[in-house]
A and B are shown apart, each in its own frame.
Chain A
Amino acid sequence: MWSKRVKLGLAALLMTGVLAGCGQTENNNAGGNEETPKKEETYSGTIALAGSTALQPLAEEAANAFMEKYPDVSITVQGGGSGTGVNQVAAGAVQIGNSDVPAAEKLDDKSKASELVDHKVAGIAFAIVVNDDVNVDNLTTKQIQDIFNGKIKNWKEVGGPDEAIHVINRPASSGTRAAFEKTIMKDVKINDSIGTVQDSNGAVEQAISSTPGAVSYVAMSYLIGEKKNLKTVKIDGAEPTVENIRTEKYPFWSYEYMITKGEAKEEVRAFIDFVKSEEFAPTVKKMGYIPMTELE
């Protein structure tokens, strides 16, 4: 009997909590509307994003900033990988699919691809990273190709210590690896039977810093802030800066895409424009991505 009463009490408490919560959000929304009447246009609705984990942090930051500006819009951002992004947007499950590559490169069925629209929202630079004990600070594209192809097996062959090279790759389906193959490896094949494979930027980071002689590639957005403990290597003498990317001195970078299906609704378009905008650009830069304003 007692336990029944307790349960009832708990249920009642929960209910009031939920109801109170509802009331509060409504109030907030109303308040928000009153505060931003000076904006000429206002947007409402819900936008769901899913896909690329490389783009996810930026998309989340953009969603928060956008929702602050337009409190009637509610945005949810999920990861899942570029494949998930393209799948979900093609199926109409989300309004925006985040991807490291254009939709057409992922989809075999071209009729499906024609429905999808790619929007370049930012650039992302990648860096070759090595373990601390590798005192090499520059590699040529040719040397990198030979390392990942398995021709160069010891750091002394590229002016480093006499130490075996340990290659860490990303899985074949990874967007970061796709960028690496496209801009650095070009026609040379990555040798998958050497070294190991780690399936996320985080796992690569962990493996690089703990494995002597290790080399891999990660997105620059993973090298800013507190994560500076990884040692980056210049490619053909160039560092991964926006300037070097714009002047084509640094090859290892790619665009990030937000993909929509067919004609996007106005709040979706407004959100994508916001990500690319001058206004949001400083945040983009701060998070280790390259704003579109600096690329075009």
Chain B
Amino acid sequence: MQQMHTKRRNRWLEEYIGRTFAVICGWLIVLITVTMIIFLAVKGIQSFTDSGLSLSDMLLSAQWDPNGTPPKYGALIFIVGSMLVSLGALLISAPIALALAIFMNFIAPKWFVSLLKPVLELLVGIPSVVYGWLGVTILVPLMREWFGGSGFSLLAGIIVLSMMILPTITSIAADALANVPMAYMEASYGLGSTRWQAISRVIVPAAKAGIATGVVFGLARAFGEALAVQMVIGNTIKLPSGLDSPTATLTSVLTMDMANTINGTPWNNALWTLALILLLISFFFIAVIRLVGPRKEG
């Protein structure tokens, strides 16, 4: 009787300790995230409160000349650059990813899927500097041959990025497709549809929400990617005049200048504001994921 009692007490203790630990960890994550957001917000608005820059100048002006007299901090070039490069990457990789996901789920033989999955996982794990390096050594010279100029270009950035986000979108889309009940497929076969009709008119529409989540995830990843893009896009401070023209992104100007400016200077504050803009845009993407994501299951 006594023994049973201690046993029960031990179990209760273990449960209790485990639960406390889990709760603390949960709160810690929340706390860290919230403090980071607050820190970034405080730093980011210093441009307007301390350095006297105006919001509209910052967002709508393409004049970025922090060394000039007077210095100018218009971020339009970088915002446009980031958008073009990530939307461009999405345009290339989303259709391919969807095709790959369909192929993996409904067409490819099992042994091939078991080869494809680890390959995709591997692609996610390759560090971005490697993508950048491959871009610089292979893609940039190719671009130079095809389009002239230096080869450092918006298109090079788009291609490198689309390689990087392809596996992300593919795996999320593949999961979404796999979650569609087999009965849907069987029912449409029963109605006399071909495989193509079943996939394009039944399965894909049913998995629409999941696929959209994958696409937004890919977009968010593309937007935040810094190193690989910076290595191939040229970082020229001007709006791109075409796909073969170099430009700069929010992340590339941040990584290039952050280490060389001093805390508290208007220049440094302006960079923090760029970081805040990046954060707000990822908030926007997360909101979109929330909206399209969990609405329905199967």
Contact = CB atoms under 8 A, between A and B. Distances in A.
Contacts of A171: 235, 253, 256-257, 260
Given A81-B260, A193-B237, A108 B67 contact: no
Please classify how large the interface on chain A is, using the bins under 10, 10 to 19, 20 to 34, 35 or more. Answer: 35 or more
Interface of A: 80-84, 86-87, 90, 106-109, 166, 171-175, 181, 189, 192-199, 203, 206-207, 210-212, 214
Contacts of B238: 192-193
Count chain A CB atoms within 10 A of each CB in B150, B259, B264, B267 and give the residue with the most.
B259
B140 A210 contact: yes
A203 B236 CA distance: 15
B235 A197 contact: yes
21 contacts: A81-B259, A81-B260, A106-B265, A109-B264, A166-B150, A172-B257, A173-B256, A173-B257, A173-B261, A173-B267, A174-B260, A192-B238, A193-B237, A193-B238, A194-B236, A196-B152, A196-B246, A197-B256, A199-B255, A210-B140, A211-B150
Contacts of A189: 68
Contacts, number: 92
Interface in B232-288: 234-238, 246, 248, 253, 255-268
A133 B236 CA distance: 24
Contact of B265 (A107, A198, A207): A107
Contacts of B231: 203
Interface of B: 64-68, 136-137, 140-141, 144, 149-152, 230-231, 234-238, 246, 248, 253, 255-268
| 7 A-B pairs with the lowest CB-CB distances in the bound complex, closest first | A81-B259, A173-B260, A196-B234, A193-B238, A197-B235, A171-B256, A192-B237
B261 A195 contact: no
B139 to A, nearest CB: 12
Nearest to A174: B260
Nearest to A52: B260
